[in-house]
Structures are given as C-alpha cells and as structure tokens.
Amino acid sequence: MPFRFYSRLLLAMFVATLLCAGGADSLAATAAPGQTADAHTAGHDEHHTLPLKAVELFHIGKFTVTNSMLMTWIVAAVIIICAQMATRNIKQVPTGAQNFWEWLVESLYNFLSGVIGSELVKRTFWFFATCFIFILTLNWFGLIPGVGTIGWGHTSPTSGNFIIDQPLFRGANADLNLTMAMACVFFACWILWAIQMNGVGGVLVHIFGPKGKSSGFLKILLLVIFFLVGILEVVSILFRPVSLSFRLYGNIYAGEVMLESMAAVAPKFLAWLIPIPFYFLELLVGFVQALVFMLLTGVFTLLIAPHDPAHEHH
C-alpha cells in the first residue's frame, strides 16, 4: 500500500477543500441573514447561542478568514504532519505511528472494498478515506475545551459575567461553508469518475436509457417513462451536494448548541459537570457522521459505476 502516496493526496484534498471554503460571504448567513454574532448578544447575554455565521477574524486583501477556517487549517496541518511523520521512515515491520497509520488506511480500504467493490475502491479510495479522516478529526477537535470559549467578548450589564461572543475557534463542520465545499468537491469528482468509467454517452444512457429488454409499443412507452424518470434522477443528483452538506452541518451544529445549552441550564459550580455525558455522545456522533458522509459518497459513486458481478447481489 503506497502510504506516502495517500499522505500527499491528503494534502491535495485539503488544499482544494480550503480554497472552496474561502468565500468572503457565509452560506450560513444567506440561510439566516438576520442571525449574526451581534444579534445574539443583544438580549441574550445570559445564554449565548452559537451563531449560524462564523466570526470573521481578519482579512487578507479581499479574502476573509473566519474562526471556522482557522480551525480547519489547524486540523489539516495536524493530519498532514502526522501522516508525514508516520510514513517518513517506512519499516518492513511497522511500529508506533506507522503501525497506527497503516492499520487505519488498511481498515478503511478493506471496509470500502466490501461496500463498493475492489475495482472501484482502487480508483476512489483516496477521496473517501480523506473525507473520513478529515471530517472525524474536525468533529473531535471541535470538542476540545477552549473551542468556542476562547476569544473576545463583553461584560453583561445585568449579571457582570463576561460573555464570549467572538470565539477564536469554532467547530469547522458547524459552518455550512466547509460542509458545502466538501460536498461540491465530491460532486466534481463524481462527474469525473462517471465520465471516465462510462463515457459521456454511457452516463446519459445510464440516467435516461430504458432498463430491460422490450419491443414494439412497449419499448416506445418505456423510452418515454425512463426519460421522465431520468429527469427526476438528474434533479436528485443535483440535490446530493445539498443533502450531504446540510446533513453533516445540521448534526454537528445541533451537537454544539446542545453542549452549550446543557452548560447554561446548570448552576455555575456544575456547569463543567453536566455536559460531560453529552461529550461522550458527541464523540460517537462525530464518528457516525464521518462514516455516513464517506458511505453516502461511496454509494452514490457505486450507483453510477459499471456493475461489478461480485456485487450484483447488493
């Protein structure tokens, strides 16, 4: 297994994702334009809810850097450095970090091979494995104490408490920009893989062509029916990036809001204790959401790929 190759693919994937996520305008702000950090601080001093829009930290020219982007860069750097260190001196009998990295990559490879087939996984494994590792690490880094609680704020005029309304870090997958960027990268890869495996004509036949054998009037009727079904399939395909991005974003954002709410309902001396059981729940949710994103993208790719006889029964 060329582990150096996969570590460099991690780097390429992260760069592409971060470029897509670098828009100055927030998609979340478009979904709820009136909900900003300032709007939350007004009248909600005692219980500050995570805003839909990521906080803008600074600008590089016209390029806006938000707290979720900063978290994304840190996590990407951590994964890339760990991958490079683990594969720098490859040993015949792996130990330490190399052993863990080989176990992780090999386990993901075998798992995906059983789901989408050995031929397809050779072409697409680099993307699916990167998505899983990247999303899982982002989800778990968002649970580190200090994420969302270190930054700038103001003193509440009613209670005198200091309220953080501009955190330095934010759970990256709780920002719709990043989840949409990853979904769009997958959509571009999906189109490329579909054309490579089937050709442009094969893709059109796969979507609009009639299934099964028929003749005469029935064949004409099936042509019309499957053409209409193909139009619905195109609409479904176009909505896949939207469903992928909102599924991941919604679950992670809801988890962070839940943790904040659990800390807010308890007295101050118990505010650190009440959320602890929910942290373990969010660890599980972070793993499940990374797995779901990887499996859905894999299944979507399998649906457009030529059928592997070994997987016909699926």
The series of mean pLDDT values per 10 residues for the chain, 314 residues long, is 50 50 44 41 51 85 89 93 89 87 93 91 92 94 84 72 78 91 94 91 84 70 84 91 94 88 75 81 93 94 72 47
Q: How many CA atoms lie within 13 A of 109 on its CB side?
A: 15
Distance of CA 287 to the CA centre of its chain: 11
Q: Which amino acid does the sequence have at 19?
A: L
- Looking at residue 161, what is its pLDDT? 67
> How far is it, in rounded angstroms, from Cα 63 to Cα 24?
6
- Looking at residue 307, what is its pLDDT? 57
> How far is it, in rounded angstroms, from Cα 273 to Cα 271?
6
Q: Which domain holds residue 145?
A: 3-311
Identify the sign of the CA torsion 252, 34, 68, 267. negative
Q: Report the domain count for the chain.
A: 1
What's the Cα-to-Cα distance from 85 to each of 8, 216, 294, rounded to whole Å? 12, 65, 25
> How far is it, in rounded angstroms, from Cα 32 to Cα 39?
11
Which of 196, 177, 180, 178 is closest to 301 using CA atoms? 196
- Looking at residue 297, what is its pLDDT? 94
- Looking at residue 230, what is its pLDDT? 86
> How far is it, in rounded angstroms, from Cα 87 to Cα 77?
15
